[in-house]
Structure 1
């Protein structure tokens, strides 16, 4: 019992010594920090900045991955929904719905910054955006009954919109066909003329850029026009 009582004061002394040593070490560290602060603070700030930059870069990378994944899923869903529509369903759309439909097809093909701008003061443009190759585009959408025809002055209005918006490419999308003069005006001035047959191909998976290679073609001759007239009237 006496030996145990002698060990207790010794243990307390050791704890006190460790406490004092820790206090002295802490005070010494603060003194050293104060003395050498001018030397070490740039390294501390730099280290914190690097750590913050690394954390910010990781967060941006992760956010970009999530955004890209969601955008890919959204494009796939838009493509599926667009591909299910028939031209009969397109004919039943309102003008605004048809413009939204064209926006969906453009986005499906990888066009960027695509937005609907149609309205009472649209300056001849219903949709604007950028093609997958980066060129800016302006789009005019006309949901007309199949028996109607696009006259040349409407194509000229789109040419004016291309100049107004300083766009690289003009696209005319319609649910009907172009008159002969309108088709020539489009082809001669580099307007991508998407008539009813091309719209069906676009809806079924053909890309917008692939339609530019057959620009305005496929409307047929006089016999085809007479047959279409009998069909839709």
Structure 2
């Protein structure tokens, strides 16, 4: 007995290679990649200013994926590329619009003061008020200043009252000179600054050390010792003998507030105590 043969189905023919469709696919893929790169580049600036746009874009992409998933239909490569290109184009437009929106203006910090002659802080010769930060004119809160800031404040007062070539030179090896300037009438002014407390007066030893260098080493035409405190009687006696002008606390405040002329303006050849 012979068995009947089952008819065999013809094998399906494989798809032929379509060069045109392949080229179109890769062209769309390149377009998507280029558009995506531009979108990422544009969005990088937006993320730092408006991070909320990243969240919005992610929500839009997720909503699009879920909507297409519910339709349960097959998508062709060309359709995917087209929809991705549209989404990226919309995201790029949104990012560019956000970049064109002016960001809120930021407060600009004031320019730093010029450097001192010794490289520590502002130099009053630049025309800037070195002690202005301690208190608005008229006057300064000298008690709140450090010794270095006190030197800068004195230099600023000299520049305010017409001195030129004002330099803060105090520091290690200054040989007693903290501020050097030229008075409006052309005299060379050498100042020593003593930022002392009320219970610490400037003594005769301080004056003697300054008196040994102010005229011979620094070639001063006029020498001043300015303090936030006061002077002892021996110090005042030594200053009177050497021709050093002593500016105590009350005289300093009057000079700073504009209630008294600059110490060199009232000095007419004899010592002023």
Could you state the TM-score of these two structures normalised by the residue count of structure 1? 0.55
The separation in 1 between residues aligned to 2:176 and 2:144, in whole angstroms, is 23
Q: Which residue of 2 aligns with 1:207?
A: 261
Choose which of 109, 118, 137 in structure 2 pairs with 1:83: 137
**Cα distance change on mapping 1:176 and 1:160 into 2, 3 Å:** same
Correspondence for 2:231: 178
1:112 CA drift (Å) = 1.0
1:166 aligns with 2:219: yes
Show the 5 A alignment for 1:7-156. 83-86=137-140, 89-156=141-208
1:78 offset after TM fit, Å? 8.1
Displacement of 1:118 after TM fit? 0.3
Deviations 1:43-75, CA, capped at 9 Å, x for gaps: xxxxxxxxxxxxxxxxxxxxxxxxxxxx9xx57
Whole-angstrom distance in 1 between the partners of 2:136 and 2:239: 26
Structure 1 unaligned spans of 5+: 1-70, 217-233
After superposing on structure 2, the runs of 4+ consecutive aligned residues of structure 1 that deviate more than 3 Å are 74-79, 210-214
How far 1:97 sits from its partner (Å)? 0.3
State the superposition RMSD in angstroms: 2.6
Structure (1/2) with the larger helix percentage:
1
2:15: which partner in 1? none
Larger Rg: 2
Q: What SS class does the counterpart of residue 164 from structure 1 fall into?
A: coil
CA deviation string 1:78-120 (max 9, x = no partner): 89x663344xx21110011000000010011101111000001
> 2:25 is matched with which residue?
none
After TM superposition, give the deviation of residue 161 of structure 1 in Å.
2.1
In the alignment, structure 2 segments of 5+ residues that lack a partner are 1-123
- In the TM superposition, residue 210 of structure 1 has moved relative to its aligned partner by 4.1
SS at match of 2:207: helix
Q: 1:82 to 1:110 in 2, by over 3 A?
A: farther
